[in-house]
Amino acid sequence: MGTPNSTVPSRNVRLDFFRGVALMIIFVNHIPFNPLYFYTPSRFGFSDAAEIFVFLSGFAAALAYGRCFDRAGMWLGTLRILRRCGQIYVSHLALFFVLAAICAFGNRWLGGEDYIHRLYLRYFFESTPEAIAALFSLRYVPNFFDILPMYFVILLWVPLAWSLSQRHAALGLGVSLLVYLGAWHFGWELPAEPAGDRPWFFNPFAWQLLFFTGFGFGAGWLRVPRASRGLTALCLAFVLVSIPLGHEPTYQRVAFLGAVRAHLEPWVDKSHLGLLRLAHFLALAYLMNRLSSWKAHRLDSSLPRWIARMGRQSLPLFLFSMALSYLAGMALDWSGRDAFDVAWVNLAGLGLMLGVAGVLEWLDSKPWRAVAGAPAADRSASLLLPTRSALLNVGVGQAALVFLAASPLLILLPELGDSAGVSLVASVGQADGVGYGHDVIDQPKGEERIEWQDGI
The pLDDT tens digits of the residues spanning 167-182 come to: 898 998 999 999 999 9
**Separation between Cα atoms, residue 14 and residue 296, nearest integer Å:** 8
Which residues are CB-contacts of 339 (< 8 A; sequence separation ≥ 6)? none
**Separation between Cα atoms, residue 39 and residue 36, nearest integer Å:** 5
Inter-residue contact 291 to 60 (CB < 8 Å): no
pLDDT in tens, the chain (456 residues): 444 444 444 467 888 999 999 999 999 999 999 999 999 988 999 999 999 999 999 999 999 898 899 888 999 999 999 999 999 999 999 999 999 999 999 998 887 789 999 998 999 999 999 999 999 999 999 988 999 999 999 999 999 999 999 989 899 899 999 999 999 999 999 999 988 889 999 999 999 999 999 999 999 999 989 888 999 999 999 999 999 999 999 999 999 999 999 999 999 999 999 999 999 999 999 999 888 887 666 777 778 888 999 999 999 999 999 999 999 999 999 999 999 999 999 999 999 999 999 999 999 888 887 666 566 555 555 554 454 444 444 443 444 444 344 443 333 333 333 333 333 223 333 333 333 333 333 333 433 333 345 667
Which residues are CB-contacts of 95 (< 8 A; sequence separation ≥ 6)? 145, 148, 319, 322, 323
CA angle 151, 155, 159 (to 5 degrees): 170
SS3 label, residue 215: helix
Look up residue 268 and give its amino acid.
V
Burial 82-99 (b: 16+ CB within 10 A, else e): eebbeebeebbeebbebb
Angle between helices 74-109 and 314-335 (to 10 degrees): 10
Residue 106 vs residues 6, 64, 118, 289, 444: alpha-carbon distances, Å: 50, 40, 11, 43, 32
Instruction: For 118, list phi and psi in degrees, rounded to 5.
Output: -60, -35
Inter-residue contact 297 to 291 (CB < 8 Å): no
Burial grade of 366 (CB within 10 A; 0-12, 13-18, 19 or more): exposed
CA angle 221, 222, 226 (to 5 degrees): 145
